[in-house]
Amino acid sequence: MDLNYTDEEKAFRDEVRRFLAEKLPARLADKVKQGKTLTKQDHEEWHAILNEKGWLAGNWPKKFGGAGWDAVRRHIFEDEMTRAAAPRIVPFGLAMLGPVLQKFGSKEQQEYYLPRILNGDDWWCQGYSEPGAGSDLASVRTTAVRDGDHYVVNGQKTWTTLGQHANMIFCLVRTSKEGKPQEGISFLLVDMNSPGVKVRPIILIDGEPEVNEVFFDDVRVPVENLVGEENKGWTYAKYLLTHERTNIAGVGFANAGLENLKRIARAERSNGRPLIENPYFAARIARVEIDLMAMSITNLRVISQAAAGQAPGAESSMLKIKGTTIRQEINALTRTAVGPYAMPFVSEALEEGSNLGPIGPDYAASATAQYLNNRKLSIYGGSNEVQRTIISKAILEL
Amino acid sequence: MNFELTEERKMLQDGLRRFLRETYTPALRAELVEADCGFSRDVWSGLAEMGVIGALFSEDDGGFAGGGFDISLVFEELGRVGAVDPLLDTAVLGGGLIAALGNEVQKQQIESVIAGTTQLAFAHAEPSSRYDMSQVESTATRDGDGYVLNGRKAVVVNAPAADHILISARTDGQAADRNGISLFLVPAGIDGIALRSYPLVSGGQAAEILLEDVRLGAAARLGPEGGAYDAIAEVNARATLAICAEALGLMESIRELTTDYLKTRKQFGKPIGKFQALQHRMADVLIEIEQARSAVINLAGHLDSAADTREMHVSATKNLIGNAAKLVAEESIQMHGGIGMTEEYELGHLAKRLIMVDHRFGDAIHHLERFVALAVA
């Protein structure tokens, strides 16, 4: 048992730190620190910087243009990224679709799409959930019917994150109604500029258009856009979900959030002393910090298993529940910490259009929006209820 | 022992419930987003005509009720529809302070408040005061017969729509002293007052207020010089009851929406309300809402107690409501899933308004500490 990184891992960490200190634009880090919404151009700028270094796809094997890092190095990289307030890497092409194409895609698909993901030629989004298929993902009803060299797609996807930026969408579609619901699903790549694709933004409770509905009306998709075999899409979808969950604990986000919370609690004054000296508030911070310290170790335990070649299993469900609960508690405490200044609905446009200075302290502006937005953490990527069911079945065998 | 409302109150409740149900339509909600003042002037007139504003004042002050249970029933109904009308600011806070401290001339304002023709706001909290009622750094300096006000006021709800603003300022003492706080009743457009207005997460509008050499005559002072604190505390207690009752109404509607959703939303081939994991959590939500109801009743019944007893109940109720509100809002969003995260669905506004209750008149942690000081220690 040794809780420290090896010398090689430490050297890698220092290299990442140096790189971030040199190459991360201060403008982007400031936006991340202040909880501002990043534009499509912001994301693309940062992706290009990472790609130039060969670090955009840490999880991809070298033969596909990735960095080929093991789980420990990926963890170190993600940790340093959040510490430096770098924009997160947009996961849809890099963390989700990439691994699926590498494992199940045709040679042509790999050669065409993977470089385009790295170079930012395509912005992918995820077409999984539907109005009637949320936690129960296998009940997807969007259909793809074969017509000569094409599939004709009809139906609706929803909760499509950043779909407004995307030109490509990977979809779960129903190609057969025979057998169990899982058995008739296929994995299809759709060009969003095709006739019949419509995107409608959904405004979330924080006021931001982060997710979308995507409608398909007789959309013709070439058959070569099918990934793997027809009706085997559920297998690929599950494979993708395990990759979606590699950074599911969000330890880096939690650490950054905790640090921010403490900074605010030191600055705010309550009844003549810093808020952080209020024993009741301090106890709440302490409780979440203790939880986070232990979860960081749980996370490393799972990572070192993964580095030793074991596929992440039900443990990722534990990390998802614990990680999201901790982050949501930090968000709630941050909202509490800013006091009455949690009440203004301060949009960026409002701030930018004013010459009167910010409303309240700078750290207050995004506290409520982030709290509201991160209620999604326990809903998406398999709700925490679904994760509990996985744990009771897969680990407890109940 | 009798937990039934009187006949008069029952009639007020029924009438108000019907009026709000018919008024708070999706069309009105869409209109409110665009409204400059943050609420509908028509709805406000309707509330005044029904006597809802008058129900918040005693007969001596020109109203016809004004008791704790009148406040709680009105605000519970407002909460049920997620109403954004500034009754709390204009009637309970502004009107309440004028009733408590005003002279005969000043009290004439109450008449127009009850008639629905005057809007008020209470500018008390400051950028660094958080929830501390005695933390006042703004100053009122004697200037001949009158005063000159300087300072900053923070998150003054309804200030953008207010015809008059009640401003607290220090005429004596140190920043956190209870003694030395004076109140002034100031016409909104007067020289030296600058407003920075903005919308609130909960709906409605507020403003940051900058006071720069605001010159007032002696007649603007409300109550004795330096002696406004006790009235501020008493009116804040009434306002705390109001917002707690509103939270209760919000929780009731949220529970109805969520229970309906659990009965209709199907996943894995059955309504999700058939899953025991959700049934038990919804049962916990119900228990906490009933606790919240009892806490509101308890505070309403102690509103006229001696200040120490009253304040202990203020802190007990606001602490419990703060915790219950968080649980109910978060669980209802979670059990709805993605749809609960959307602005379009009714739950979003109700849940946000409920969450924001913790940020006025002290949050759960503030009142936990205060309760320990008042009741435990």
ipTM at complex level: 0.96
Residues on chain A touching B128 (C-beta within 8 angstroms):
269
Residue B198 and residue B234 in one domain = no
Average pLDDT of each block of 10 consecutive residues along chain A (398 residues)? 88 98 97 88 97 96 95 91 95 94 97 98 97 92 97 97 97 95 96 98 92 98 98 92 72 94 96 94 98 93 80 82 97 98 81 65 91 96 92 92
Between A1 and B291, the higher pLDDT residue: B291
Answer whether B365 sits within 8 Å of A132, measured CB to CB.
Answer: no
Q: What is the pLDDT of residue A338?
A: 97
Same domain for B155 and B92: no
Interhelix angle A384-394/B276-301, nearest 10 degrees: 130
Separation of alpha carbons B37 and B34, rounded Å:
9
Q: Are B116 and B91 in contact (CB under 8 A)?
A: no
DSSP A132: T
Candidate from B132, B154, B343 with C-beta closest to A204:
B343
- Asked whether residue B286 falls in the same domain as residue B364, the answer is yes
Q: Does some domain include residue B53?
A: yes
**Partner residue facing A269 (CB), from B130, B157, B363:** B130
Flag whether B257 is in a domain. yes
What beta strand segments (E) does chain A contain? 124-127, 143-147, 150-157, 168-174, 185-191, 197-202, 211-222, 226-227, 269-270, 273-274
- Exposure letters B137-167 (e unless 16+ CB within 10 A, then b): bbbbeeeeebbbbbbebbbbbbbbbbbbbbb
Parallel, antiparallel or unpaired: strands B120-123 and B164-170 = parallel
Tell me which of B130, B133, B358 to substitute to probe the interface with A (most A C-beta atoms closer than 10 Å).
B130
Whether residues B337 and A379 touch (CB distance < 8 A) is answered with: yes
Cβ <8 Å between B196 and A332: no
Across the interface, of B157, B348, B368, the residue whose CB is closest to A205 is: B348
d(CA B23, CA B41): 12
Q: Which of A328, A343, A379 sits opposite B202 (nearest CB)?
A: A343
Whether residue B209 sits in one domain with residue B235: no
pLDDT of residue B369: 95
User: Can you state the angle between helices A315-337 and A384-394, rounded to 10 degrees?
Assistant: 150
Is B154–A360 a contact, with Cβ atoms under 8 angstroms apart?
yes
B251, B368: one domain: yes
Domain stop point among B118, B140, B173: B118
Chain B residues whose beta carbon lies within 8 Å of the beta carbon of residue A348: none
Residues B13, B111 within the same domain: yes
* Domain coverage including residue B127: 121-226
In tens, the pLDDT along B186-212 reads 999 999 999 999 999 999 999 999 999
The CA distance from B207 to the nearest CA of chain A, in Å, is 9
Six token digits for residue B17: 């419930």
A185-205 burial, b if ≥16 CB within 10 A, otherwise e? bbbbbbebeeeebebeebebb
Tell me if A30 sits within 8 A of A45, measured CB to CB.
Answer: no
- Nearest residue to A222 via CA among A96, A108, A91: A108
- Verify whether the Cβ–Cβ distance A343 to B200 is below 8 Å: yes
- What is the CA B240 to chain-centroid distance, rounded? 7
Residue B67 is assigned to a structural domain of this protein: yes
All residues at 6 or more sequence positions from A43 whose CB lies less than 8 Å from its CB, including other chains:
A87, A90, A165
Name the residue in chain A with its Cα closest to that of B209. A359
Q: Are residues B142 and B187 in the same domain?
A: yes
| B111 shares its domain with B66 | yes
Residue B1 domain flag: no
Measured between alpha carbons, how far is A180 from A14 in angstroms, rounded to an integer?
51
Q: What is the pLDDT of residue B311?
A: 97
Instruction: Enumerate residues 6+ apart whose C-beta is below 8 A from B168.
Output: B123, B124, B136, B138, B181, B182, B183, B184, B228, B232
Give the gap in angstroms from C-alpha A346 to the nearest C-alpha of chain B. Answer: 7
Q: Which residue would you say has higher pLDDT here, A136 or B291?
A: B291
Kindly report, residue by residue over B275-286, the tens digit of the pLDDT: 999 999 999 999
> Domain for residue B66, yes or no?
yes
Q: Within this chain, do residues B372 and B234 fall inside the same structural domain, yes or no?
A: yes
> How much is the pLDDT for A107?
97
CA distance B130 to B363: 10
Nearest-angstrom CA–CA distance, A353 and A350? 5
**Strand ranges in B85-231 using DSSP code E only, listed in sequence order:** 120-123, 139-143, 146-157, 164-170, 181-187, 193-199, 205-216, 221-222
Tell me if B196 and A272 make a contact (CB, 8 A cut-off): no
What pLDDT was estimated at residue A349? 56
Asked if B131's CB is within 8 angstroms of A340's CB, the reply is: yes
Residue B155: its chain A contacts at CB < 8 A? 340-341, 343-344, 360
Domains and CATH numbers, chain A: 7-89 (no CATH), 124-231 (2.40.110.10), 245-394 (1.20.140.10)
CATH code assigned at B202: 2.40.110.10
Identify the pLDDT of residue A300.
87
Give B202's contacts in chain A (Cβ within 8 Å): 343
Q: Give me the residue from B266, B278, B326 closest to A332, CB to CB.
A: B326
CATH code, B63: 1.10.540.10
| Predicted local distance difference test score (pLDDT) of residue B269 | 93
Residues B241 and B69 sit within 8 Å (Cβ to Cβ): no
Report the pLDDT value the prediction gives residue A301, as an integer from 0 to 100: 87
Is the same domain home to B239 and B365? yes
Is B126 inside any structural domain? yes
Tell me whether residue B183 is in a domain.
yes
**Mean pLDDT (chain B, rounded):** 96
Q: Does residue B274 share a domain with residue B314?
A: yes
The Cα-based distances of B330 to A7, A36, A175, A364, B336 in angstroms read 44, 23, 38, 21, 10
Per-residue pLDDT, A53 = 97
pTM of the model: 0.95
Domain final residue pick, B118, B151, B173? B118
Give the up-direction half-sphere exposure of residue A331: CA atoms within 13 A in the CB hemisphere.
Answer: 23
Residue B102 included in any domain: yes
Boundary of a domain, candidates B118, B137, B160: B118
Q: CATH no. for residue B337?
A: 1.20.140.10
Please confirm, yes or no, whether A244 is among the known catalytic residues: yes
Burial of B291 (C-beta count, 10 Å sphere; 0-12/13-18/19+): middle
Same domain, yes or no: B98 and B192: no
| Total count of domains within chain B | 3
Q: How many CB pairs under 8 A join A and B?
A: 132
